[in-house]
Chains A and B, each alone.
Chain A
């Protein structure tokens, strides 16, 4: 649990201003009960998962040919909704959902 010190009225900027980027520190991945598991060998890098992910949790990067490819799943922010697994082409099934450890 992040136990950040709460600011006082004297320390806060006036008028409900919050600096950008705070969502980076809020790891919503802890809400997950099912997790997507990505199989690198099966993936054809169609990016259907990437475009469908509501939490921008499909990690991508250019490969040596400067083609954008999937590189993994960002478990800090993935809430385990399963859309990626659903959108992965039926014949490929490079993403499968597994139960988080209990």
Chain B
């Protein structure tokens, strides 16, 4: 039998969506307002069933669009409720205006997000274009490699958001994780509830004893200070995320960090990647290690706030690095994660690693061990000086010519 990490844990087979809904059931927020969208539909569908069956005491608001979903979630959070929602792709796009309001009002909303390509052309499959587009919206962004991480991240995000007074979204890769049944360890309801604790907002609109105004106009005299507060809150949230991870490990036994280092200690070549592809890449690293190649992997878990100083330190001794983006920026230059990694290295004065950028897997395009092995092969050549690093974005598994 498969052993649990936590003494009271239970091994189950669940899809990414099922396990996110399960986390929401255990967290039992006061309000969930959502509008279903593929491939995230099941999360709120299953949760609404919990509400209908009386399994949770949460209020479920079936709204008429994602813009309304985020608006209602904001309203509930402002009123003092623990509020959550779930969406994907076009749904997140329709929330756009309200995403910035959630963070600007410093509301600790938690969103279960399933990464899916952005239209047009219409495509329902997994890539990270949707949340990468929202990377500067003031939301903490936590990405999950698999269903276990999705479950654990949802629980941690609730605590992180409330401590940081920032909204947080937790993602899985569309279909690849959202619809993949895997082995997951879940924890007892009471233990999850004890871990997140009761939500006690300092100020809330329905507190009639201490009335206040929320969301007033802020012109040249105050707007900048408030935006500085927000940016600073994002910077400060890194320590909160690390503290919550430490608590989580102490309670449930699973270790989390801003990112995961896989065989990085003596790595000469490394890939930086986010999400499910990290799991596939780990098998490639294992194969290369058996052949004596010093390959490593750095899997970013928390992309916002971006752990720039930490990453720069951990990549400093690597000879060649490939940053793999499952989103293109259409900026004319590099994709988002590469830009952040390159800036982190430059700011830290680290110039020795050769860093290249690959865009892969848009619209759910296959990315397999052979593709990743080719990237490592190129990195090996760059590290040995046999090949010059590309100065532009390279693409994996796309028909260009």
Contact = CB atoms under 8 A, between A and B. Distances in A.
Q: Do chains A and B touch in the complex (CB under 8 A)?
A: yes
B125 to A, nearest CB: 16
Interface string A1-12: 000001111100
A100 interface: no
Contact of A8 (B120, B121, B401): B401
A16 interface: yes
A6 B398 CA distance: 11
Contacts of B121: 16
B208 interface: no
Nearest to A10: B401
Contact of B400 (A6, A10, A16): A10
A16 B399 contact: no
A92 B120 CA distance: 49
B399 A7 contact: yes
A6 B399 contact: yes
A7 to B, nearest CB: 7
Interface string B336-359: 000000000000000000000000
A10 B398 CA distance: 11
Contacts of A16: 120-121
A30 B401 CA distance: 33
A51 B168 CA distance: 53
Nearest to B400: A9
A9 B120 contact: no
Interface in A2-43: 6-10, 16
B399 to A, nearest CB: 4
A59 to B, nearest CB: 33
Nearest to B395: A9
A8 B121 CA distance: 15
A8 B399 CA distance: 5
A10 B399 CA distance: 8
Interface string B388-401: 00000000001111
Contacts of B400: 8-10
A15 to B, nearest CB: 8
Interface in B352-401: 398-401
Contacts of A6: 399
Residue with the greatest number of chain B CB neighbours at <10 A, chosen from A6, A7, A16: A16
Given A6-B399, A8-B401, 11 more contacts: A7-B399, A8-B399, A8-B400, A9-B398, A9-B399, A9-B400, A9-B401, A10-B400, A10-B401, A16-B120, A16-B121
Q: Which 4 A-B pairs have the closest CB atoms?
A: A8-B399, A16-B121, A10-B401, A9-B400
13 contacts: A6-B399, A7-B399, A8-B399, A8-B400, A8-B401, A9-B398, A9-B399, A9-B400, A9-B401, A10-B400, A10-B401, A16-B120, A16-B121
